[in-house]
Amino acid sequence: MSITAQEVNKLRKMTGAGMMDCKKALTEANGDFEAAIDLLRKKGQKVSASRADRQTSEGSVFVSTNADGSEGVLIALNCETDFVAKNEEFQALGKQILETAVQEKPDNREALLSLSAGDITLGEKVVELIGKIGEKVEVSAYERLSAESVVAYIHSGSKLGVLVGLDGGNGSEVGLAGKDVAMQIAAMNPVAVDKDQVDSSIVEREMAIGREQAIAEGKPENIVDKIAEGKLNKFYKENTLLNQSFVKDNSLTISKYLDSVKQGLTVRNFRRVAIGG
């Protein structure tokens, strides 16, 4: 059957797909718009499958907190090129996924992508966008955080996002301190909040390295473990958030800085997600 330019344009406006793709879909569907939309989605699924091995090292992070600042959500939406990352539809999809996550509070990324986005799921919306732009797109991270006060921070042109959960206070002063800590996390990339939260495998690795260094330096065997423990404590100071030197004032650790803002104020947890790293 003959497909008119008006029909093609109507489908293009409905889906955002290219003119030729719309014409082919309408022709194959014999002018049935719903069937044509399904065909375009299937095209997106095929594109998604064919690009499954492509690297998605570009994209944007999206962060938000709820009304009372007790919960935060962080989403990373990845793509192949910076050009697509700046695309209005890509950005709109990231915001839609974020808003849905804030409202629905899914348990994990799979549950998030299965949530409704109108007449299709968020996962299908991602596939639909792949079909339009011909580039791999994926939600690479979904993080939620709860605390007495959660602060969200975006860094480096939306390429890096941080959520930090604080206990022991709230309000504007705590919010400003939370932003300082979030910037610290963005810059220093700590491995844990405090030394008791460092994974045991990391502790074992650092101790082994410390022992090997001590032996290589010719230190007596009876003090090798003590030297390794000293190096481990240095690792804790440099790599655990509360023990790190505050970048804005090296005379303070993060723990002491927070206590100076409000006695007892501390970090419960944090999340840090970077695009391409």
Any domain includes 154: no
Say if residue 57 is in the same domain as residue 140: yes
Residues 90 and 136: their CA atoms lie apart, in Å, by 11
Q: Is 152 inside a domain boundary?
A: no
Q: How many domains is the chain built from?
A: 2
Specify whether 89 is located in the same domain as 110.
Answer: yes
Is residue 71 domain-resident? yes
Give pTM, 2 decimals: 0.84
Domain residues for the domain of 31 are: 5-50
Are residues 20 and 40 both part of a single domain? yes
Say how far apart CA 203 and CA 212 lie, in whole Å: 14
What is the residue-level pLDDT of the chain in tens, covering all 277 positions? 789 999 998 888 787 788 888 899 999 999 999 899 888 888 887 777 888 888 899 999 999 999 899 999 999 999 999 999 999 999 999 999 999 999 999 999 999 999 999 889 999 999 999 988 889 999 999 999 999 999 999 997 899 999 999 999 989 999 999 999 999 999 999 999 999 999 999 999 999 999 999 999 999 999 999 999 999 999 999 999 999 999 999 999 999 999 999 999 999 999 999 998 6
* Structure tokens belonging to residue 111: 């549950």
For the chain, counts of helices (H) and of strands (E): 11, 10
Q: Do residues 71 and 85 both lie within one domain?
A: yes
Query: Are 31 and 93 part of one and the same domain?
Result: no
Is 243 inside a domain boundary? no
